[in-house]
Structure formats: structure tokens, C-alpha cells
Structure 1
Amino acid sequence: MAQNVNNIKDHVDLFHQPEYQELFENKKQFEGMPDAEKVKEVAEWTKTWEYREKNFAREALTINPAKACQPLGSLLAAVGFEGTLPFVHGSQGCVAYFRTHLTRHFKEPVSAVSSSMTENAAVFGGLRNMVDGLANAYALYKPKMIAICTTCMAEVIGDDLGAFVGNARQDGSIPDDFPVPFAHTPSFVGSHITGYDSMMKSILDTLTEGKKAETTNGKINFIPGFETYIGNLRELKKIISAFDLDATILGDHEMYLDSPNLGEFEMYQEGTSLEDAADCINAEATITLQTYTTPKTRKMIETQWKQKTLTYRPWGIKATDEFIMGLSELTGKPIPKEFELARGRAVDAMTDTQAWLHGKKAAVYGDPDLVMGLLQFMLEMGVEPVHVLVHNSTNAFEKEAKELLESSPFGQNATVWGGKDLWHMRSLLFTEPVDFIVGNSYAKYLERDTKTPLIRIGYPIFDRHHLHRYSTMGYEGAINLLNWIANGILESLDRKTDTPAVTDISFDLVR
């Protein structure tokens, strides 16, 4: 009976079994845990303004950072190119974390290899690991390009990727003409968006070397940035197609991270062709759809390529209008009729729902560009942001965010918290409550603790499926944002009005 497969319990049920409950009680005794009354007393104190001041005074400790580390971003940049294998110079555990983090969000396998550094390599350097690893990766997985990034271990001991790749070529691990862009991506500084920028810059620099022509190819480059909504890549392609543009998307991971199940596994799923990427140096202009994920890449394009760059963040109506009109001005082509219709549908939906969002107070956190896009949309709907938290913030972001908030009557009571973490956000939600919070899956613990309804928008989203397949930008994206936020508010209202003849005294079915 004990071996019956039908008796296997889900982990949720498993840990409620008597033997585990007893284990948890023993653990409390072993750890010398205070009694329940003391725990409750301290927990209540952590909800006060007094604790908030102590919480915000800390300097040397981060609790639950609202960011990931650099190599994660470098992997996302790499898999957007044809036949590219990410290679992490560090331990196996690190690369397993990066792959798992991306896989859990996208529900797709993410291939990456490691130089498998251990204690020995940490003392004597990882050159041999790199040389052997590149040889094995090239022979086994037959990539068209290998993109190398580093972890903390390799950075602390000072491994020189440029020299290591040169040695690997001399040893015959990889051919002399095989592209191997590399980026130093230490996890103890920056964040995943820093890693994305460093890898994107290296890939473009490597592939375009010696490819500058005397005339342009007439194309427009688009860099999506650290884009975790596959629907945004599809929305971008719809816009490109509607304008009949000759364009190159630099880092197109749509198929890689949302591939159809056709019965056979393919390790490399489409992506930007290396030929197109090599020719992007000759484009008319490069448009980036995120500001803070591409600063080094944009600088290289402007200073080394002498190419015009433009940045748009088409979230909400006004910013999408600017993007569409900007493309029309850049290309000299009229705005397609379909965008007028899509805009009208979005405005109609926003008009239908504005009464439920107008005046609602919100907290929001995430990456700089994501937060800016959300602020643009929420202010258009009359939502009042109160707490705006960005862990991987910059002075430029904070200046832009404050200017946007000050420009709207609904942004006057907002505070931008740069460099703060989710334990700071907890104090904010207890001392200055809001109607809802917008953030990734990690905010579910804030929701449970502070009873603040959570709207899941951002990265990562682990505990809900398929949200990444939708768009957040463009007119269709505006409807999706409206849908998630408005229906999240209504679901929260339902939970508060579910007691017959006590709280359900409104007209629920006409909302």
C-alpha cells in the first residue's frame, strides 16, 4: 500500500501530514524560536512608522531585491540570435539558476552551457575550463555563435575573457573565424538589464566588425531590450509589417521562448540571422524600445557606427501615438488605417472602465522601463501612483519618473524609491496603504502579509501561466494592461463582498 503510486501526495498536502507538522514544531524548539505571543508582538511592530524609519536607515543589507543578476540578462540577449549558444564562465550551479529562472517564466527550455569552474579553478584560474568547454560546446551542439558571459567566481579571480578566447582559438577549440562575443557580467554589481546591455553591445560589435559600407542598406534596426512579453515582439512585427518596413530586430527571441510543439526538439529556434545582424551597422537608424537596458549599446551605435538612434516606450495611448507617428515621420509613409481602428478600440475600452480605476491608489515596482511604461498608462487612467520602487534604478530614471509624475494631477502624491528592495516596500504598504500593487510573482508575499491586492505585471511571473504570451505595448497592449488591472480590482472587490446579506449588498452583476 505504501508503494502505491496513487498515494503520492502533492507537496501542498504533503507538508500538512502529521509527521511534517511534528518536524516543524521540533524545528522551532531546536532554533529557540520565541513563543507565539512574542512573534506576534514583533510582527505588529514591523508594521509601524517607527520600524519603517529603522528599515529605511539600513545601508549594508538587502532583503529580497527586486532584480536579478547580470548573466541572466546576457542569456536573454544571446538567445535572440540565430544558432547562438550561451556559455557561462563559472560554476554549474550558476548556469542552472539562470536557465531555470528563464524557463520557469517562459515555460520553455533554455539551453546554456558552463565552463564548470570548481574550487580548483577558483584558485588557479579558469583558462583550462574555458578552452575545454568551448571545444566541447562547439563539437557537441554545433552552434553558429557562442556568447560568453561570466559569474562572480570568474570576476573575483580576474579571468580575462579576451585572452582566454584567444588561447582557445590557438588550441583549436574553435575556428579562427567563429564568432565568440563575450561580456564581463559580475553579479555583485548592476542587474539583469546591465548584463543584457553588455551582451547586446558585444554581439553587435563582434558581428559588425569590418562590415561598415559607404552607403546605408535602407533598413531600420529595432532593439526590444530585456523583453519578457513575447506578445510585444509579435506586436512589433505587426507594426513593422503594417508600415511595410525593411527592418531588423536585434535580439528576436520570440520563437526561441515561445516555440510551437511540432513533435521534435530543436535546440535553436530562429532568431535574428547573423547575416542581418552583421549588416545592421549600415542601417538608416536604430530604434530602441527600452531606455535603461541599452545605454552602452546605443552609445556604441551613435559614436562608432555614426548611426542615428531613437528611443520609444509605447505603453499606453500617448506613448504609442508618439511611436506610430515617429515611424511615419522617419519613413515618410502614412499611418496605416488599422492603427486608427486599434487606437479607437483601446480608447473605447479605457472609457468603459475608467470609473473603476480613477482615483485608485497604487504601488508599483520593477525594472526602470517597465515601471515607466506602467506609470504612463496608469496616469492616463487616473490611477494615482503612491509608491514607485525600482531597485536597479539610475539618476536618469528617477529624473524622468519624477518629471512624468509631476506633469499629471494624478502623480502629485507619488514618491520614487530608487535602490530600495521589497522589504522596504512592505513598510510602505503598511504605513501608507494603497488599493493595489503592481509587480512580479514575488509580490504575492506582500499581498498575503499586507492584504494589498496584487496585479501580476513584470518579470518573473512564476505562479501564473501564459501571461508572458500577451503584449503590454501598443494599443492592444493598453487593452491588456487595462484588463489585468481592472479585473484585478474587481476580483478583490468580490472577495470583500462575498458574505450574503452582510457585504453583498451591491449590484454585483452590473459591474
Structure 2
Amino acid sequence: MAIVVESEKACTVNPLKMSQPLGASYAAMGLDACMPVMHGSQGCTSFGLVQLVRHFREAIPLQTTAMNEVTTILGGYENVETALLNIRNRAAPKIIVLCSTGLTETNGEDIVGHLAMVRKRKPELNDTELVYVSTPDYVGAFENGYGHAITAIVKALVKPLPTVRQQVNLLPGSHLSPGDIDELREIVGAFGLDPIILPDVSRSLDGHVAPVWRGTTLGGTTLDQIRMAGASAFTIGVGEQTREGAQTLESIAGMPFEIFERLTGLESNDRLLQRLAQLSGRAVPAKYRRQRSQLLDAMLDAHFYTGGIKVALGAEPDLLLAIGSLLQDMGAELSVCVSTTTSASHALLPANRVVLGDLEDMERAASSCDLLITHSHGRQMAARLGKPLMRVGLPVFDRIGNAHRCQIGYRGTMNFIFEIANLLIAQIANHHPTDWALPQSSIAVAAAVPDMN
């Protein structure tokens, strides 16, 4: 169990975390025909928009109520009403998800009251679902906002329905890429189960060329699917951030749930397949038995390079746990762990300490590490330290194909292990050009043996 400590610096130097409103907006982008709206200044929305556009290299639908100095003092009701009407008239979304920001939360606005008043005054909005998420950006982080958005969507749109035995709800964490969600859908479907994925960015942010541009999200969980979630027989959540949403589904529709803390690794995927076999009454398909065997072989091949290395990790809690646990399984030491916010996931991390801080905290402690793992803002740190950097999480803006990376399931875990091992092999080749094929452990032994010639 890791001890969690907060950085004692007076300011953040090289930020690791992103805000709650951006996390909630990202969850809304997994809903079909949806428009996420940040209730705050234009700068808040512009910053988040840039991060997502750079990561996915796609047009991102994200709007703002454009609060300014005057409306901040006098109240933002008119801004909310104007924004909702303009969005409805121009883009015709089926769902609008309104996320608060630090500005409006500090001001103490009654946004729930605003939305109720807008409904009374503007009946033309009755054909649009309105979901409000409270996401002050002065507390929490990206995955908190994402989790709160799932809960708000469930509360607003899900009602109890007669159970459909073969239907299950999947609540993917924000650390799962569109490629990860596609893999999860395929795994669940292989057991004859019908998954409702909430939210589903694999249909909206998967890098496809849409035939038309609507101005809203193009793909994702439809409104009908969200409503049908109340008929599912079971809910599977991936990551601690989905627990609140799963509990809310249970309280509304009475369905049991299970939270998988990670799906990167061997044991956790074994548990998932056993659960799916139990739910479906089917045996585990042969292709997954073979994939498991391939993963075991990959772990054997790669552990020569990962065994005994020191790793510095900087990531959101659930991603930190997924990557850190796999590396520990592969014999690596989690020497430096930096995260963004408190989470129950930290109690499961096989490390001595987790620092809630920034990338400067990570850099100061990582000089003796062999591998750095964080998002693209760690590239300068890696250059200064002369260490290999594996880019994970969001944003990754200096590499392409982020939407299609898969790091879950047996196959995704195997790909992830190969990526780490190949980074380490490349590092060995740079420093020991004549011994590039030797494992890291062999290089260390060779360096310790004196040359007798």
C-alpha cells in the first residue's frame, strides 16, 4: 500500500494534471449527437479544446457560455440560456452536457435552478436532454470530472426497466483509449453478451472520416442506449473512477456490478474472462486461451529487460495503477510515482509512496531511474535526464495514432510489454552499440566485470 503525500511547492511548474471540467467534457464526447459545454470563461474551454485536438488530431465539439467580468458578478443565467438556444438552433444535439468551472462554482451560481428556469421559459429546448455536472477545477482532476459525468448522465437519463439477461453495461475509465474500448467490446461480444458502453469514445474519437459534419459528436452511446442501460443484468466498471457511476446504476435499476481496477496484466484479465463466462454461461473462447499463452511468452521474453529496472511514473490514479502493477509483475521497481489527485487506486499500487504533484517533482526524483513514463509534457524532462520516455495518457501530441493504441486485454498487454522492452533495447543500443541485443541485466553484469585483456 503506497503512502500518499502532497507536494509542498507553492506553485505548479510543469503540470501533470488536467481539470475536472475537461474530464467531464471528454466523457460527454462519448455520447452520440452530444454537445459538451463549459460554463465559464472562453479561456477555460479554449485550453481544453487545444489539448484534445492535439491528442486526437480531430475536430472536437466543445462550447462555452463565455462568462466575462460583468456576468461573473451579476450572474450567468442569460449566458446559459443564450448558449443553450444557440447550440440547439445551430447543431441540434440530442444531449447537452453542461459542466461547471471554478469561476461559476466560486461564484455560487444555482445552475440547477438556471436549467429549470430555461426549461420553463424556452419550451423549444424540450426536445433536447440537458445534463448538468458539477466540476470545480480547483479540486480533483481529469478522472474525477469524467467519473462525475458518468454519474450525472446515469441520474438524468437512466430509469429501471425489465432485465435483459444477455445485456451488460460497460463503464470504461478515462484512461482507456478508443482502441482499448474496441478491444473490450470485442471481448464481451465473444461471449454472446450485448454491451452498452457508457461513454463510448471508440465510436466518436476513433479517427474516422465522417461523411458529414453535424457540429456535435459523431458517434458514441446513443440516447436510446443510455436509457436501455436500466435493463442490463450486470455492470462492469474499469477503474476506480467508475465506481460512483456503477453504484448509481445499482441504486436506480438494482443491477449488481464489479469494478476491475485494471485490465492491463494477466490476473485481472483472467478475472474478467471468468466473470464473462459466468454471466454468459459460455466457456472462454479458444482464441483468448491462445492469447493468454502468447502473453505469458511475451512476459518471459521481456522480463530480461524489465527485471530490476527502476521506473518513474507520472499519471492519473487509475492509469498509474494499471501501468505500475504490470511493471511490478515484470520485475521492475516503481521508484518514483507521481499522480494528480487522491484515489482508492493508490492503496493498491505496489509502491512505497505516491506524490501528488507535477512533472518537476517527478524529474527531481528520477535521476537514477532507467525509464520514464508519462504524457508528452515529459519530453523535456527525458531529454535533460537522458532517459527513454514512454508516452501514455493524455495529452500525447508528438506521436500519432493515439486513438488506436490498445493496452488492455491479453493482446493489448502484450503490445504494451513489447513497447516497453523495445524502448529499453533501444536505450541499450545507444549506450552499448556492440551489445545492443543483450538484456539490461546482462549489460549490467558485463559492466561490472573488469576487462582482463
Structure-2-length-normalised TM-score:
0.90
- Which of 175, 178, 182 pairs up with 1:234? 182
Which residue pairs with 1:225 in the alignment? 173
Tell me which of the two structures has the higher relative contact order, counting C-alpha pairs closer than 8 angstroms and 6 or more residues apart: 2
Q: What is the CA distance between 1:57 and its match in structure 2?
A: 7.2
Which residue pairs with 2:324 in the alignment? 375
1:506 equivalenced with 2:435 (yes/no): yes
Q: What is the CA distance between 1:232 and its match in structure 2?
A: 0.3
**Aligned 8 A contact 1:88 1:113 in 2:** yes
1:323 equivalenced with 2:272 (yes/no): yes
Q: What root-mean-square deviation, in Å, do the aligned CA atoms of Structure 1 and Structure 2 show?
A: 2.1
1:64 equivalenced with 2:14 (yes/no): yes
1:442 equivalenced with 2:377 (yes/no): yes
Q: Distance in 2 between matches of 1:175 and 1:112?
A: 19
Q: Distance in 1 between matches of 2:163 and 2:364?
A: 57
Q: What is the CA distance between 1:326 and its match in structure 2?
A: 1.6
1:168-317 alignment runs, 5 A limit: 168-172=118-122, 174-176=124-126, 178-208=128-158, 211-213=159-161, 215-216=163-164, 218-261=166-209, 264-267=212-215, 268-291=217-240, 293-312=241-260, 313-317=262-266
Which residue pairs with 2:447 in the alignment? none
Which residue pairs with 2:34 in the alignment? 84
Q: What is the CA distance between 1:416 and its match in structure 2?
A: 2.0
**Aligned 8 A contact 1:108 1:258 in 2:** no
Which residue pairs with 1:410 in the alignment? none
Q: Distance in 2 between matches of 1:82 and 1:97?
A: 23
Q: Distance in 2 between matches of 1:451 and 1:496?
A: 11
1:368 aligned partner, one-letter code:
P
**Aligned 8 A contact 1:151 1:185 in 2:** yes
Change (3 A) 1:117 1:491: same
1:425 equivalenced with 2:362 (yes/no): yes
Q: What is the CA distance between 1:206 and its match in structure 2?
A: 1.0
Which residue pairs with 1:458 in the alignment? 393
Task: Give the SS at the match of 2:434.
Answer: coil
Task: Give the SS at the match of 2:173.
Answer: coil
Change (3 A) 1:257 1:507: closer
Task: Give the SS at the match of 1:257.
Answer: coil
Task: Give the SS at the match of 1:88.
Answer: strand
Q: What is the CA distance between 1:255 and its match in structure 2?
A: 2.5
Residue ranges of structure 1 left out of the alignment (5+ in a row) = 1-54, 406-413, 498-503
**Aligned 8 A contact 1:368 1:392 in 2:** yes
Which residue pairs with 2:450 in the alignment? none
Q: What is the CA distance between 1:420 and its match in structure 2?
A: 2.5
1:345 equivalenced with 2:294 (yes/no): yes
The CA deviation string for residues 265-314 of structure 1, in whole angstroms up to 9 with x for no partner, is 344322111111112122111100111x2233233223343221101121
Which residue pairs with 1:14 in the alignment? none
Change (3 A) 1:284 1:437: same
Task: Give the SS at the match of 1:288.
Answer: strand
**Aligned 8 A contact 1:134 1:174 in 2:** no
Q: What is the CA distance between 1:510 and its match in structure 2?
A: 10
Structure whose alpha-carbon radius of gyration is higher: 1
The CA deviation string for residues 70-107 of structure 1, in whole angstroms up to 9 with x for no partner, is 11111111111121111111112211111111111111
Structure-1-length-normalised TM-score:
0.80
Which residue pairs with 1:356 in the alignment? 305
Task: Give the SS at the match of 1:392.
Answer: coil
Q: What is the CA distance between 1:234 and its match in structure 2?
A: 1.0
Q: Distance in 1 between matches of 2:282 and 2:270?
A: 15
Q: Distance in 1 between matches of 2:271 and 2:410?
A: 12
**Aligned 8 A contact 1:74 1:195 in 2:** yes
- Which of 336, 349, 352 pairs up with 1:415? 352
Task: Give the SS at the match of 2:32.
Answer: coil
Q: Distance in 2 between matches of 1:132 and 1:482?
A: 50
